[in-house]
Chain A
Amino acid sequence: MASVRELRDRIRSLKNTQQITKAMKQVAAAKIRRAEIARKRALPYAQTLAEMLRDLVAAVSVVDHPFMKAGKGTPPGVILMAADKGLAGAFNSNVTRMGEMYAHEHSGTRFYSVGIKARNAVRRMGIPDHPNWALNAPKLETARAVAARVTQDFTEGTIGEIVLVSSKLVSMMSQRPQTRSLVPIVADELRTSAGERSGPRGAVEFLPSPEFVLSALLPKYLEFTLYSAMLETDASFFAAQLIAMSNATDNANKAIDELTIQMNNARQAAITKELLEIVAGAEALSG
């Protein structure tokens, strides 16, 4: 059995760890709130943009824009989005594993990474040099830079498809990685969802022309989809971290309880042993 002093040391170190996990849990809770506010603020823009795009696609019969056509015979480009930091359970590895699986199924996949953990994962796959950005607190400029880069590679024909692997915030308790194809944009899908939503609006006038507005809107749409995904990944990360840290705190509590019982037993055993020795000694003298 471990000595009282050993047990006391272990309990002390566990308590220290527990304080750290507790603090991280509180920080994560505060940051979730911030991330959720940022997400809510971005929502009106996203909705209006989607609505405009639906109107446009419904009005333009033949959509002639590079984003509407898949590049043939060229590998897909995957934007892998994860957090900058760890200590959030399996959050980062869940996302990066999905990216890795995609690369297994599609040969020659080119990676773009957002978030330091995503960058490290891509490097571990044996691709040291690839375009990468940090997630930080998601900024629109980062989304713009990513969009500009993938658009350039797409129009030059280096990649034939733009795919996004990021985390979806199902609820505060559950985050799931998901794979989405961003470009080419399927016009028919937009048309059918337009029919359900608003019905015919009558003739819409486009200035200067539907084609021009569309070619200005599509890059914005890509930019903003990336920005929303970054905000969602950020919120998911803190949700995952909150759960991980809350579990860690609970586990530490359990371990502390067990060790405390062990320590008490050990101390009692030591006292009993000493008493027995004293009694035995006294009896030997008197006898």
Chain B
Amino acid sequence: MNAVPFKLISPIEIVFEGEAELVIVVTTEGEEGVLPQHAPLLAALRPGVLRANVRRESTTQRLELATGAGFIQALPDRITVLVDEAFRFEDVDIAKTREELAQAQAAQDRTTAEFAQAKLRLTGHSN
């Protein structure tokens, strides 16, 4: 299968640079698969999962990442994806992330409760 240079770039680093046979991204309109020789395309991406078949030492490997919002630029001879953040599936510590999520959720609940209470105390004191 054909392959084209593919780059996945986040503000702090080049997450992936190599050859790709297929790149699947989640655009604001839905999933979009991009093959080599694609007509020029520029699309906005929403947070989602980016999948790509990338070539590594003449074998094809699957690359899967959770990515933030961004953009994809496809040209016949290269594919470039810009994202706010990107995490490889295998790099995510599931237990630790679950815990962080729970903590963030608890903090958010607390803030919501404080907000509601403060608002209540101000009731009748408006203007």
Contacts and interface: CB of A to CB of B under 8 A. Distances in A.
Contacts of B6: none
B81 to A, nearest CB: 9
Contacts, number: 71
Contacts of B82: 45, 48-49, 52
Nearest to B81: A48
A205 B28 contact: no
A207 B32 contact: yes
Interface string A11-52: 000000000000000000000000000100110110011011
A67 to B, nearest CB: 16
B53 interface: no
Contact of B28 (A52, A203, A204, A208): A208
B7 A44 contact: yes
Nearest to A217: B71
The binding surface of chain B is classed by DSSP as: strand
Contacts of A112: none
Contacts of B65: none
A227 B41 contact: no
Contacts of A124: none
Contacts of B28: 207-208, 212
B43 interface: yes
Nearest to A46: B11
A41 B69 CA distance: 19
B9 A45 contact: yes
Contacts of A220: 71
A103 interface: no
Nearest to A38: B12
B4 to A, nearest CB: 15
B32 to A, nearest CB: 7
B124 to A, nearest CB: 29
A207 B9 contact: no
A49 to B, nearest CB: 6
A224 interface: yes
A56 B12 contact: no
B42 A55 contact: yes
B40 A44 contact: no
Contacts of A206: 41-43
Nearest to B38: A205
B73 interface: yes
Contact of A203 (B14, B40, B69, B71): B40
A164 to B, nearest CB: 18
Contact of B44 (A44, A212, A224): A212
B13 interface: yes
A12 B18 CA distance: 59
A255 interface: no
B40 A213 contact: no
A52 B7 contact: no
A202 B40 contact: yes
Nearest to A224: B11
A75 to B, nearest CB: 29
A45 B10 CA distance: 6
A185 interface: no
Contact of B71 (A205, A216, A227): A216
A216 B46 CA distance: 11
11 contacts: A42-B11, A45-B10, A48-B9, A51-B73, A52-B42, A140-B11, A205-B41, A207-B27, A212-B44, A213-B43, A227-B11
The 5 A-B pairs at the shortest CB distance, nearest first, are namely: A207-B43, A204-B40, A216-B44, A205-B41, A45-B11
Given A45-B9, A205-B42, A216-B69, 15 more contacts: A41-B13, A44-B14, A48-B80, A52-B42, A52-B73, A201-B40, A204-B40, A205-B39, A205-B40, A206-B42, A207-B28, A207-B29, A207-B32, A213-B42, A224-B11
